[in-house]
Structure 1
């Protein structure tokens, strides 16, 4: 009797377990458990800009040559540099604009020199000087761009070495009397262009 009761009890328990398991199987159709993990790649991106400075200013400089008479000269230094936050340059051009192209403009002459070191207060070169232009006609510069094509300065500027320029504006003694009482504005525009685009490959060992 005990053996028969025990068998029935065991059979009942087994049947109960089977029913529970079967119900769990039906309820679990279409679902499952899974472990997950997420990793990320964070990339900080910024854009560069082009910055060309004249005497430390992106706005350029203003030089005044007032009440000139034949024989006068006005000498002014210009330090050209690439801004500290500027991308490297790929091109550099100089253009000239004149507001009033009159007899005075036609008579004016300009000479340009560079020095390997900053010009002194007396406008002498303490290093090695290079002449770029001597007594160039200002009125003719709009057709040729400017007193120099400074593309040769790109390598120097990209290495963070300034270009030291001395410009001399003169009204020759031979200037005609028709230049008296006139005025004009001459603007030299130095335009820097970014370097060409490039592909940078990141060293895998630098990623962390």
Structure 2
């Protein structure tokens, strides 16, 4: 399976006791965490990605002890894991389809995010931007949390509607949500005030904005 300087892929390797299934790993350095190397592992059936089966965080090889990130529970909780896993999946899908001459494979490459993916990404966006809000802290915090989730979802739903060529994307979102278009426009205005800006839409995510241009092999890359 091909690799390049921004990512390293391992496999496909057979999975013991699981006929026809293989494991593939992809490692890269997240753009926002230049001292960490992230590896996701996936289970494949032929060229179809079934699900992620493992994730590993570790220092980039060659990182000094003083520069190593303290990876505690709160640090992991605040990581944008939904976005990073989606980027990893897209890298694997892209690599799996290399040389096939066929259409993109899997549920994400070249297609907009599903409603479940939108909901998951919205939660990740809110956690990143409003890490001080605990929805379990009381009714007021829960209401604000749910409002922010809705605003983040609407921003993405509006972006998807635009990407598929809707002449009135706010009306399309309004119809799907059972509200008036003016309500959606109000939500979009509120979302902008809260700092939720549309991101480049490449299968729902700009994968190259998520990963560093540095080789995940770190200092070892210079020895190869």
TM-score range (shorter-chain normalised) is under 0.3
Instruction: Kindly indicate whether structure 1 or structure 2 has the higher relative contact order, using CA contacts under 8 Å at least 6 residues apart.
Output: 1
Write 1 or 2 for the structure with the bigger share of helix. Answer: 2
Whose strand fraction is larger, Structure 1's or Structure 2's?
1
The structure whose Rg is larger is: 1
**TM-score (structure 1 length as normaliser):** 0.21
